[in-house]
Structure 1
Amino acid sequence: MKKIGKGIGLSYYGTGYGNGFPDVSRAIIKLLPAGRIGIYCGVTEVGQGAKTSMRQIGAEVLDIDIENIDLVHEDTSLMPDSGTAAATRQTYNTGNAIKIACENMKKELLEKAKIELNLNSTSGLTLEKGEVILSFFPQKRISYKKLSEIYYNDVIIEAKGEFTAQTTEMDKETGQGAPYWPYTFNACAVEVEVDTETGIVNILKSTFAQDAGRAVNPMLLEGQMDGGFAMGLGYTLFEDLNLDKGIMKNNRFSKYLIPTAMDMVDINNIIVEDPEPTAPYGAKGIGEPVTIPIAPAILNAIYDAVGVRIKELPVTPEKLIKHLRGCKENR
């Protein structure tokens, strides 16, 4: 017999190292030949879209096409430390460092433009599409490319930025405090079909809402949500190490099962934007949080369908049948 159930999972997640631990990111911005902008920072790309989102933040501050920005982030001889790609911290922490560095770079560009345009101050100078322009007399302008020709060999135009996240240590006596900032929130609802004869659980549909502060790149964000759902699905229903006295029995992919495209459903993703005032353009990280509510939602849906509360993952068919039989025997 096949039974249908619905479940919801909710979560909140504190980003960054937390609990008073120094959480610092740094960045250097340079004007490169041909007027290109170089962003130098240790924001490691592990699939979260850092190569794109960090360049987008820089492009926004300096009003230049993202295609004209080079991100140097995997050469420790060239870039400053930006902390680890962990704790969902890079968008918030390193994004802030890049934004600060670019704002400092903007001041440098205005100062150099003032000299080259023979002006007596930077008042009225603005950045527009790769140029420094005197807003009330736009005939006075100079491109980043021209500035790079003047200031690349002997004097390089560059600026630095550093950001330290605000985090407080919890009280050791009471366990109270605010160890993380900021927090991100999400909710996932699923509908499942449970076959009580075979123990197989199929996901029928899902709606997933994720707080992102401000979506720097909505397409990448939805990709993260889809990926987080797939990882949560595998964690809940498939991935079984089968540890026996410390020995991993399922030590190859022929036995350690992971979800495939055939196991996924089309997810109704909802991006919730409530800008975080301390974040770069309001954006918060969502790297790890997107995996958290999936398992609770699926487990609650299974319970709604067959009345059995599973507390050990993964919910393999064998395990579910055992619980169903045990439930019948106890009645």
Structure 2
Amino acid sequence: MQRGLNNMKKRGFGYGCIFYGTGYGNGFPDISRSIAELDTKGHINIYVGATEVGQGAKTILGQIAAEALDVPVEIVTLIHEDTSITPDAGTAAASRQTYNTGNAVKISAEELKKEIIVVAKGLLNEDHLEISNGVIRSNTSDKTLTLKDIAEASGGGFLRKDGIFQANTTEMDPETGQGNPYWPYTINAYAVEVEVDTTTGIVDIIRAACSQDVGRAINPSLVEGQIDGGFAMGLGYAIFEDINLDKGRIKHNRFTNYLIPTALDMPEIEKIIVEDPESTGPFGAKGIGEPVMIAAAPAILNAIYDAVGVRLTEIPVTPEKLLKALKKREG
């Protein structure tokens, strides 16, 4: 488009789209485990070896457990990051915790719910029971029990149930390229408008939009936060972060010369959450941790090309590289 604001600054639009397989993939065993427990106070404890690295696992997994048990999320405690008491849930990598470990948590919570109902049937002498907002109710009478009642009836012991989930993945055939390496896949698209100063080579991001397929948004605020963080990473990848390798030595080895984006470099991002529930995911959800970063850099580079007509194939697009490309085009 190359819309000129003046002789020095040009604006352009760029788009980037991806589909991304989450989980370890390609036949590598991808297993998560969880334990759901009713403690003596009538509270729910979820033991899971999922690591919180800022992706919101602690919040999401607690929500999944509360939904599966139909209890208030306030009485659910996630016990994690302690290998002496928690089962292995795999790494906080490959955008897999919401899908994989979320499924394991859901399974353990559902098994615990069944056990709670069994105990309640014996106490109430009723067959048609359900849990609603943490209270066990009869469908045929006005009889009710609390979770603490169930815990006390268990003799002060804990009711515990395990949940195990293994992702569906097969190794690709090296001869035919066929297989089922990932499940599920997530999809997104970025749109970016940039302003390029052709005298300094500086690229400013004016605005951006992200349309992200999430399966189902268990926590929309966390999805939007992931998009903000992912775009910031993609922005750094595209135009800032240059380690400057010289014969194997990192020359930009401190933040005075290894530049990263700050809040001042971030535009407002229009966030479009697309919900197409994943049938195998916990309540339809799937992971988006890495996907929200991947398409940002291609969109930015496409916008630079649209603005100044120079196609750059090496990142980051530093001012020096961009000026060099512009001079080369001018002969």
Native 8 Å contact 1:63 1:129 kept in 2: yes
User: How far apart, CA to CA, are the structure 2 residues paired with 1:112 and 1:278?
Assistant: 30
- Equivalent of 1:131, from 130, 135, 138? 135
For structure 1, which segment, 126-135 or 214-223, has the greater mean C-alpha deviation from structure 2 after superposition?
126-135
Residue 56 of structure 1 aligns with an amino acid whose one-letter code is: Q
Select which of 149, 152, 162 maps to 1:149. 152
Partner of 2:26: 19
2:5 is aligned to none
Residues 164-208 of structure 1 deviation map (CA, whole Å, 9 limit, x = unaligned): 111111112122222111000000000000010000000011111
Q: Which residue matches 2:190?
A: 188
Secondary structure of 1:112's aligned partner: helix
- Long gaps (5+) in structure 1: none
Structure 1: how far apart are the matches of 2:120 and 2:274? 40
One-letter amino acid matched to 1:283 = A
Distance 1:266 1:103 in 2: 40
Corresponding residue for residue 283 of structure 1: 285
Residue 102 of structure 1, CA deviation: 0.8
Does residue 92 (structure 1) correspond to residue 84 (structure 2)? The answer is no
- Secondary structure of the residue that 2:55 maps to in structure 1? coil
Partner of 1:54: 61
Partner deviation per Cα, 1:54-112 (whole Å, 9 max, x = no partner): 00000101111111101011111111111111111111100001111111111100011
- 1:172-251 alignment, distance < 5 Å: 172-251=174-253
Quick one: which of 170, 173, 180 aligns to 1:171? 173
User: Which residues of 2 match residues 99-118 of structure 1 at below 5 A?
Assistant: 99-118=106-125
Superposition deviation, residue 118 in structure 1? 2.9
Q: CA RMSD in A?
A: 1.0
Aligned mates of 2:160, 2:143 — CA distance in 1: 23
Task: Check conservation: 2:193, 2:207, Cα contact below 8 A.
Answer: yes
TM-superposed deviation, 1:152: 5.7
The answer for unaligned runs of 5 or more in structure 2 is: 1-7
1:126-167, CA deviations, whole angstroms, 9 ceiling, x for partnerless residues? 001111111221x211100222233263x3211111111111
Contact kept in structure 1, 2:40 and 2:158, CA below 8 Å: no
What letter matches 1:130 in structure 2?
G
Q: AA paired with 1:101?
A: S
* TM, length-normalised to structure 1: 0.96
Please say if residues 32 and 152 of structure 1, whose CA atoms lie closer than 8 Å, have aligned partners that are also in contact.
no
CA distance in 2, matches of 1:192, 1:136: 64
Secondary structure at the residue paired with 1:71? strand
Within 2, Cα distance between the matches of 1:257 and 1:240? 7
SS in 2 for 1:235: helix
**Pair 1:103–1:306, CA change in 2 (3 A):** same
Question: What TM-score comes out, normalization by structure 2 length?
Answer: 0.96
**Which secondary structure does the structure 1 equivalent of 2:19 belong to?**
strand
Aligned to 2:4: none
**Amino acid of the structure 2 residue aligned with 1:64:** V
